[in-house]
Structure 1
Amino acid sequence: QACGLVKNLALMCYITVGTPAEPIVDFMIQRNMEVLEEFEPQVTPNATKVFVNGVWVGIHRDPSHLVTTMQNLRRRNMISHEVSLIRDIREREFKIFTDTGRVCRPLFVIDNDPKSENSGGLVLNKEHIRKLEADKDLPTDMAPEERREQ
């Protein structure tokens, strides 16, 4: 009995083409990530391990701030939307994947700020949809700066 799983996978998912990991590692080092070579487990036993594409690259003492910063960079399109960010609180690990060949799907972002009037609701709104539709109408050869002005 066909149930549409193959079709849904083809319509909703995409395969990553990969992005360089070095700029992300450099950015995290600037944001107080200690590289593995300088890590002393006796000094910071509760630090969170940071992995990039499965390789342990360092540790961070304030993982919630690092994760929030990385998510904001991705949402502002300063790092590729294909970069996967995974925080495992129980294992004290933060995993970042930038490699090729991963199956990705879109996710909806929920507003978790209890002070927000939209708390518990989607961050996506009609204004975002309108901007996406307007972006389709712009010429494809237009410079990114000109697109932002429009």
Structure 2
Amino acid sequence: ACGLVKNLALMVYITVGSAAYPILEFLEEWGTENFEEISPAVIPQATKIFVNGCWVGIHRDPDMLVKTLRRLRRRVDVNTEVGVVRDIRLKELRIYTDYGRCSRPLFIVEKQRLLIKKKDIQALQQRET
């Protein structure tokens, strides 16, 4: 058990949090429907959107929304600590901007190829020294 704890401590960092307002604004611009705009009959077919655990609305094209959010996060237009979790089975999209979450770096793969290159790693190593 000690090795697992040590590895976790070396791999993760704790999020400091960011404001939820920019995410809520983005969701409104990108087609999230709030409760005043929808009828209850529509809810089971749509994906529910949660921000920091609060249900803020529904979206009818969650694939596009998730791809857009992740692209904006990778370009740092959205805070890099924002967590985007899609649960297809439950038809939920959970977005987290709060503090205190364990986070870790992930490698991004597109078309079965890593997007990070050797020059990127070398640039990071030079910046550390």
TM-score (norm 1): 0.77
- Find the aligned partners of 1:36 and 1:16 in 2 and give their Cα distance: 30
- Find the aligned partners of 1:28 and 1:83 in 2 and give their Cα distance: 14
Matches within 5 A, 1:12-91: 12-43=11-42, 45-91=44-90
Match for residue 102 of structure 1? 101
Q: 1:4 to 1:27 in 2, by over 3 A?
A: same
- Provide the secondary structure at the position in 1 that maps to 2:71: helix
Match for residue 116 of structure 2? 124
Where do 5+ consecutive residues of structure 2 fail to align?
A: none
Cα pair 1:51 1:96 within 8 Å, conserved: yes
- Provide the secondary structure at the position in 2 that maps to 1:49: strand
Greater length-normalized contact order (CA 8 Å, ≥ 6 residues apart): 2
| Larger relative strand fraction | 2
Return the offset for 1:109.
1.3
- Find the aligned partners of 1:133 and 1:37 in 2 and give their Cα distance: 51
Match for residue 11 of structure 1? 10
How many aligned positions are there?
129
- Provide the secondary structure at the position in 2 that maps to 1:80: coil
- Provide the secondary structure at the position in 2 that maps to 1:67: helix
Cα pair 2:30 2:65 within 8 Å, conserved: yes
Matches within 5 A, 1:110-149: 110-111=109-110, 119-133=111-125, 135-136=127-128
Identity between Structure 1 and Structure 2 (%): 53
Between 1:6-15 and 1:125-134, the stretch displaced more is: 125-134
Q: 1:43 to 1:7 in 2, by over 3 A?
A: closer
Return the offset for 1:98.
0.7
The one-character-per-residue Cα deviations of 1:44-95 (angstroms, maximum 9, x if unpaired) are: 6411110000100011111100000000011111111111100111111110
- Find the aligned partners of 2:43 and 2:8 in 1 and give their Cα distance: 43
**Aligned-residue RMSD, C-alpha:** 1.8
Where do 5+ consecutive residues of structure 1 fail to align?
A: 112-118, 138-150
Asked which structure has the greater CA Rg, the reply is 1
One-letter code aligned to 2:115? V
